[in-house]
Each structure stands twice: as structure tokens, then as C-alpha cells.
Amino acid sequence: MENEKRMPYIWESLISLLALVVSISVAIVKYDAAPHVPMLMGTIVACLMAYRIGYKWDDIEQGMIDGITQSLQAVIILCIIGVLVGVWILSGVVPTMIYYGLKILSPEIFLVASVIICAITSIGTGSSWGTVGTVGIALMGIGEGLGMPMPIVAGAILSGSYFGDKMSPLSDTTNLAPAMAGADLYDHIKHMVYTTGVSFALVLVIETFLGFMYGGGSIESMGAVNELMQGLSSQFNINLLLLLPPIVVIILASQKVPSIPAITTGAIIGAIMGIFMQGVDFGQILSAAYGGYVGDTGVSTLDNLLTNGGITNMLYAVSLIIMAMMYGGVMESTNQLKVIVDKLLEKAQNDGSLIALTILSAIGMNVILSDQYMSIVVTGRTYDQAYKERGLKPKNLSRALEDSGTLTGALVPWNTCGAYMASTLGMATIVYAPFAFFNWITPIVSVIYGYFGITIEHFDEESEGNEEIEENILVDQEGKVETAVDVD
């Protein structure tokens, strides 16, 4: 006899959550294994709990499919960036960026300059992924040549890239967060300046200090730098014209051309320039686009750096995203996630605790649902009414969503962002995460602002408050989700 569908008990939802956390923790910590199969194990437990509370298999399966569908844009972008990186290395675009970077940047200013360069690029493009996949790869090569510790270099690249992504009106998450909270886009961006500005200033101070700390070995590293530059010039035709593809991508993004056609255009231009500038043929382009470029300069450090890109290099991240979104789809569609969050809301006794809970929940969603978009959407939908009831302006919620949901996905190995960054930078998430200062300092600053009431804005009780609260209450949640999906 079929069970009648009901809301899950809290202990049922927690079993599904603990199954995921325990299986992944044991796999990574004890066996140093990939998280894919443990993620599937967590999904199996979540499915069993969904069946127990009355859901049919068709409903459960549809939840998984819906979850995967949410991540398809990320999967497409991953594959295209794999193509772009492989083609850009083969055509000499990335080697040219590395070559001139080695000539211009000194070790002492390299880290802070990397943060600023990535921040500017990401503001212009609205994409942390695009920035890391293009400028970030070049900066990794320059840092290697300058003898800088690679995890620290990766952290600087991520800090700058996510600052720009978070503050750019072209960014999908910057549009998604206010859409979920019912806030105006530019009010949202202005409100983020208070927390983001403090965090970014702290990051610049830290990176300046680290730059001078590790830049002391610049004399010793000059021999290695010269060796890298000679290896690049002997293997590739280095020419300033090869900077055209990344410039085109940045221009297209600044003109609000969507990421997929913009990145694809950059890859096509890179391929054309490779034919004329490097003398490669179409078969070599196809090989690099699919299997990546394999370095053969004779300099081991340079070969390790240039062996990158291709669709196959992204398949680890793609398969992980699919597994993760299966779990997240089941948890959301069967209300197991909602029960946990509703229980947490009982602990929010004041504005500070509500904002802290919002931030912790968004971080938790990045861990459980494995996608920053899902983190923003689910957390925004969950806490929207609580903010209205306290008379808090929507931009308080949208800022909390961005300060946490946007930034912390890159710190979770099985999150779409963490998987992408690890694949692109060639470094495990857990290795670079401690040095991605901006990504974990900002949520802390935001919690402090919440508890001390710094820049936390309320509606005026008798005037604009009642009007705007009533207007916001009329906004249908499903409509909000549709807006978010359109933006994404």
C-alpha cells in the first residue's frame, strides 16, 4: 500500500544530510578518494528517505533531473572553457600573456597586482570563472616563474576574481541575489560596498605583506624566470597581437554578451590566430580543444604549466557536478532541506542572529546543494518572509546572500565552483582555500556587521516601510525563481 506524501521529520532530513557529510568526509580524509561515489551514496540515502515520506520514484527521479538541469549552463561553460584554454595555449595566447607578465611584474608586487588585475577583469566581464580561466591561468604561470608559492598565487587570483564578480552589474549572481530578495540591483551593489570594501582592503594588505615576504627570493628566481622566457620564445611565436582574443572576450562581456557565445568567440579567434601566428593545422586545434595541450618545451616546470585545457580535463568537474546536483535536487524537491532550515529559523531572535543564520545557511547550501545559484535561490526563498516580518530592507538579505552564497562555493571541493576552480588552476580546492582570503573574510565581516547593526537598514514604520513590505509580499515566489533562472 502506497504511503501518503507528507512533510519529512527533522530526524529523517538529518539522516540524509549526515549520510552525505560522513561518506564524503571518510572518502576524502581517510582514503584520499574522489567525492563522486560518496556523493552518490548520499543521494541513495536521500532517495530512501524520500520514499519513506511518501514520494513515488517518478517524483524522486524528477527531482534529480530538475537538479541536474539547474547546473547544465555550468556544465556547458566548463566544456567550452576547456576548449578555450587548450586552444589558447596551442595558439600562443596564454604563453604570450605569461611571457610579458614575467617581464613586467616583480615578485614584491606580484600578489597584490594579481588581485587588482583579476578584480578589474572580473568587474568588466562579470565572471569569476572566465577571469580565472583566462587571466588566472596566465598569472599562475607568471607566479611559477617568479618562484611564488602556487597556493598563495591561486588564492590571490580567486580573491580578485570573486571581488569583481560580486560587484559587477554584469554578473549573474549579482543580479540573482537582489532578484531573490526583491531588492533593486544598484541598491544591492551600493549596500555591498560596506562589507566588501572592508574585506577587499584587508586582502590587499595581506597580499602586500605576503608579496614582500616571498618576494625576497627574487634574485634567486631570476635564473628560473629567464629559463621560462627562453622556453616560451623557443616554442611559440610571442607577439602582442596574440593578446587580441582575451581583449575581445572582455569587450564582449562588457557589452553584456552572454558567457557562452563570448567565450566561444574567444576560442574561435584564438584558433584562427594559432593558424597564422604559430603555423598549427586544424587537426592540432581539434586535438588541443578536446584533449588539451601537452607541453614539450624541454623545461619541466613550463611543460607542467602548459599541459592543460581540453574538454577531457573538465570531465572530472562535470561528472562531480552531475552527482552533486542529483543529491541537491532530491533534497529540495522532497522538502527535506526545508525542514532543516525551518528548524534553524526558530533560533533567529534578533536581526544579527537572522543575518548570521542566513549566511550560515547559504554556506550550508553550497555544501549540500553543491551550486552557488541553488544556494542563493533556496536561501533567498527561505528567509525572504523573515526579513519582511522584521522590517528589514530587502538589500540586507541580498547582501547576506552574496557575502556567503556567491563566495563560499569555490571553497567546497564538490561544489560546481570548487570543482571548476580546482580543474582550471590544477590544484585541489583544500590546498588553495586557506589563501582565498576574500572568500572567507567577507562572510565573517558580514556577520559582524549584522550583530552590531552596522549599515543594517530598516523600513520607516509609518511611511515607506508598510508600502514596500506590502508590495514585496505580493511578489509570488515562483515569479522570483523564474526571474532568477532568466538571469542565470
pLDDT in tens, 194-234: 999 999 999 999 999 998 888 655 544 556 667 777 888 88
Q: What is the pLDDT of residue 423?
A: 86
Q: What H or E segment, with its residue span, contains residue 44?
A: helix 36-52
Cell of 379: 536561501
Q: Judge whether residue 46 has pLDDT over 80.
A: yes
Domain of 217 in residue numbering reads as 74-314
Q: What does the DSSP 8-state code read for residue 349? A: -
Beta bridge partners of 308: 293
Max CA separation in the chain (angstroms): 77
Q: How confident is the model at residue 355 (pLDDT cuts 50, 70, 90)?
A: very high
3-state SS assignment for residue 112: helix
- Lowest-confidence region among 167-181, 215-229, 323-337, 340-354: 215-229
Q: Which comes out higher in pLDDT, residue 17 or 193?
A: 193
- Is there a domain that residue 221 lies in? yes
Q: Is residue 425 part of a domain?
A: no
- Smallest CA-to-CA distance from 154 within 441, 421, 443 is with 421
For residues 226 and 327, which has the higher predicted lDDT (pLDDT)? Answer: 327
Closest CA to 323 of 55, 26, 35, 61: 35
Alpha-carbon radius of gyration of the chain = 23
String of DSSP letters for 147-161: T--HHHHHHHHHHHH
Full-model pTM:
0.69
Give residues with Cβ within 8 angstroms of 339, minimum separation 6.
Answer: 7, 8, 9, 10, 12, 13
**Overall domain count for the chain:** 1
Candidate from 174-178, 225-229, 239-243 with smallest mean pLDDT: 225-229
- What confidence category does residue 78 fall into, taking pLDDT thresholds of 50, 70 and 90? confident
pLDDT at residue 374, as a whole number: 73
Residue 43, domain member (yes or no): no
Does residue 252 lie within any of the structural domains?
yes
CA–CA dist 21, 39 (Å, integer): 9
Please indicate, yes or no, if residue 406 is contained in any of the structural domains: no
Is residue 188 assigned to a domain? yes
Q: For residue 458, list its beta bridge partners.
A: 392
Res. 473 pLDDT band, cuts 50 70 90:
very low
The answer to whether 228 and 102 have CB atoms below 8 angstroms apart is yes
Evaluate whether 40 touches 323 at the Cβ level (below 8 Å): yes
Residue 465: exposure state from Cβ atoms within 10 A (0-12, 13-18, ≥19): middle
What would the DSSP string read from start to end of 242-293? GGHHHHHHHHHHHTT--HHHHHHHHHHHHHHHHHHHT---HHHHHHHHHH-B
Scanning the structure block, which residue is given the C-alpha cell 562555493? 409
- Could you tell me which of 407, 384, 406 has the C-alpha nearest to residue 395? 384
Higher pLDDT, 94 or 434: 434
- Among residues 316, 345, 270, the alpha carbon closest in space to that of 424 is found at 316
Q: What percent of the chain has pLDDT over 90?
A: 36
**Distance separating alpha carbons of residues 440 and 378, to the nearest angstrom:** 21
Mean pLDDT of 401-412: 93
Q: Is the pLDDT of residue 235 over 60?
A: yes
Q: Do the domain assignments include residue 22?
A: no
Residue 382 counted as domain residue: no
Coil vs helix vs strand at 458: strand
Residue 2 has pLDDT above 60, yes or no: no
